[in-house]
Chain A
């Protein structure tokens, strides 16, 4: 069939460019989305996926390039404009999908209630009735009277989808939709997506999960360093797609886990993260890097927080260098040489830029002030010298130790966080999502630094399997607040093989217990 017969694609992007300061996020990206097609958008962290999605959804504007909607040039100045044009987004953070405090029915009608032409007075019964009509299309089992805040992530997604369909969406963007779902909920979501596809809706599916992509994608577009590194049609050659994603060469695997002849640094014995979760054991050796992956809410962060003294340990024993140890506070953990770099560096590590102590040298020293200056007097010169040496060591691009982090790129910001916790001798270093918003180059620097210390045991929580495989000696999987060892045997396989075996292992883990009696995802596809 000649190409001329085809109708224009629903959405076509031509040579989209976007830069943030010196960082080129998108460098001439082309993308075509057709009605009734599921296109997977793949790429490592920092490849430009989220920037591209934001431009399509109107949350951000391209510096250069062209968007065509059904053949006509268009420009979205706001998410509302994109929504009016029929482009809806299902965010990864399901809390952004609705308004807590309002009922499900009110959330379903939110677009209408917020519009300038809304009736001034709406009877609750009317709202409920209209909401039921909207929900019936895709999620007839949604509890209309429940508060949005009480919904499960899967229910929130369904709510967002029902609303999007009602507002006649033609393109739905899914951003890592299965990250907070159990395998069974994921399977139901895929059924819904099939349903949407048959209804002629275009779907842009952003995900790392190869199993997801194999299951639903008609086509995959791979981004790398802000460019399209490859396009693959079904049946997907995932091996080639992953190669395109990481840039031809697969990441260098590290030497197999060090011989366990050393004394264990930190041992977890029969640890339970929740009073009713399954106990598990874990042993970390000095110089070893262990990564834990798993869904949102699987308990990765909770484990790190327990070890850092932020939460009490419901049950089990911790041995630090063979001695029983129980942190009661963060200060105790830090004194014992157990450090944690929290998730989301602006929330967990930095200060508002106008505050005293917001400069790089101050931020690096913040947790160590008590040991550095026991008599209380802060010697700024000493802080600046330390900062300078770390700026050089980690190759942090900045003007000097008196910069504030907002002047740095994401990767350099993360290097400041790492410098903070490496600037004092650590026995155990806990890193929660250390590669968020970090470009590939900076990630290599961070990994080199993380792996450089033979005296520190490192435990990393990350939701990204590739990152986990790249940084760690061992990768463990967390589900339902307990830890599983997928076993080794990666030496023989390709990276893809490892990824898939890990995913399969994770998929076979026990499902969520029923969170609600009205799980709504039974859709007649």
Chain B
């Protein structure tokens, strides 16, 4: 810090050239390691670099990336959203129930699933923005609430065609082909969820990095008082962020339902950990030190590549959580621990 201040006060300040130094290495560290992983896995296991496998990595990453975006958007506006995983799980159950039990069409089911996300987002916003409950506590509460809520309609069992309902009858509906396509179809060989998440990521990136609304989202999250004194309707932005976050998470849940073709009951806690992990790993991408869309996507892909590669090398699956945790801690250390040299 001192050295920067000294430079800043020189009579004729000059911008130092950026040599290939430690700073640059840290900036691109995650990309460098990612490239190393891909090369290493391809060398050890040639099947790794087959297009089909690479696409399957993206396919398995898509939902984590989408939920990571949900966490990122909420975090940019200054609110941690712990209910992400539970929101996805609830939307999964809601859309399955609509389709199988109520026998709704594809479009209404889709809208209902996403609507669940909007409602949960608004509920979180009510707790955090209006009732001023600290964000971690409020969304933790929502998480428990949703985890219990989704058990009630089916008495805790998974939803599939022909399931026994609580009134003794059998569910006659089934997942429509159009709905299942959302999780299974391919466009020019690329899985539809990958395309969907890719497009949403680009939209979110443009919104956050290139428009004035993005600036206000970041300002609200960084220093709400300063944003308010600049004339920004900060409460509205925070509500919007929670709603967007809820919708993204709900879409993730709907995609899972379409891919699996069954409404499995789950608390969504592994979804939560993976998406938060992607977001926090994203802090290290380009040394941003803030929640950012590009970083989250890179973080999700990074974890996906690592897990896929290790699986192909026959590393037991039960080590996966440990590997994820290790990557997360290393990325955080890179961002915060070693980053002090900058200032």
Contacts and interface: CB of A to CB of B under 8 A. Distances in A.
B27 interface: no
A362 B212 CA distance: 10
Given A330-B231, A400-B15, A357 B219 contact: yes
B222 A352 contact: yes
Interface residues of A, number: 45
Contacts of B4: 21, 407
B311 interface: no
B224 to A, nearest CB: 10
A230 interface: no
Residue of A353, A357, A378, A407 with most partner-chain B CB within 10 A: A357
A356 B8 contact: no
B2 to A, nearest CB: 6
Given A355-B221, A356-B218, A356-B290, A397 B231 contact: no
Residue of A329, A330, A398 with most partner-chain B CB within 10 A: A330
Interface in A334-383: 334-335, 340, 342, 347-358, 362, 366-367, 369-370, 372-373, 376-378
A408 B8 CA distance: 7
A330 B219 CA distance: 16
A376 B15 contact: no
A354 B288 contact: yes
A338 to B, nearest CB: 11
Given A21-B2, A366-B230, A377-B211, A406 B343 contact: yes
Nearest to B212: A369
Contact of B215 (A330, A353, A366): A366
Interface in A374-430: 376-378, 397-400, 403, 406-409
Interface string B164-192: 00000000000000000000000000000
A485 to B, nearest CB: 29
Interface of B: 1-2, 4-9, 13-15, 208-216, 218-219, 221-223, 225-233, 288-290, 292, 343
Residue of B212, B215, B221 with most partner-chain A CB within 10 A: B212
Nearest to A402: B15
A376 B226 contact: no
A121 interface: no
Contacts of A340: 229
Contacts of A354: 288-290
Nearest to A334: B231
B9 A357 contact: no
B231 A356 contact: no
Contact of B5 (A20, A333, A362, A378): A20
10 A-B pairs with the lowest CB-CB distances in the bound complex, closest first = A21-B5, A22-B9, A355-B222, A367-B230, A354-B289, A351-B222, A369-B212, A331-B231, A356-B218, A334-B231
A399 B212 contact: no
Given A334-B231, A357-B215, A406-B343, A366 B226 contact: yes
B205 to A, nearest CB: 12
Contacts of B225: 342, 347-348
Given A355-B219, A356-B218, A369-B215, A398 B8 contact: yes
Given A334-B231, A354-B289, A358-B222, 10 more contacts: A329-B231, A331-B231, A348-B229, A366-B226, A367-B231, A370-B212, A399-B8, A403-B8, A406-B343, A409-B9
A397 B13 contact: yes
A409 B227 CA distance: 23
Contacts of B290: 354-356
A408 to B, nearest CB: 6
Nearest to A420: B230
Contact of B226 (A348, A372, A398, A407): A348
Given A21-B5, A22-B5, A408-B8, A378 B230 contact: no
A335 B232 CA distance: 12
A12 B219 CA distance: 48
Contacts of B289: 354
Nearest to A21: B5
Contacts of B233: 329, 331
Nearest to B14: A399
B207 to A, nearest CB: 9
B13 A399 contact: yes
A266 B223 CA distance: 30
Contacts of B218: 351, 355-357
Contacts of B7: 399
B5 A349 contact: no
B9 A349 contact: no
B15 A352 contact: no
A367 to B, nearest CB: 4
B84 to A, nearest CB: 22
A399 to B, nearest CB: 5
A153 B83 CA distance: 43
B226 A347 contact: yes
Given A331-B231, A349-B229, A397-B8, A356 B215 contact: yes
Given A334-B231, A362-B215, A377 B226 contact: no
12 contacts: A23-B9, A329-B233, A330-B228, A340-B229, A351-B222, A357-B218, A366-B219, A369-B212, A378-B210, A399-B13, A400-B13, A403-B8
B213 to A, nearest CB: 6
A376 B216 CA distance: 11
Contact of B223 (A308, A347, A370): A347
Contacts of A407: 4-5, 8, 343
A353 B343 contact: yes
Contacts of B222: 351-352, 355, 357-358
B29 to A, nearest CB: 17
Residue of B208, B222, B227 with most partner-chain A CB within 10 A: B222
A412 B181 CA distance: 59
A21 B209 CA distance: 33
Interface string A311-345: 00000000000000000011101110000101000
Contacts of A21: 1-2, 4-6, 8-9
A66 to B, nearest CB: 23
Contacts of B212: 369-370, 372-373, 376-378
Given A347-B223, A352-B222, A354-B289, A398 B13 contact: yes
A228 B233 CA distance: 49
A433 B266 CA distance: 55
Contacts of B221: 355
A310 B13 CA distance: 39
B215 A399 contact: no
Contacts of A330: 228-231
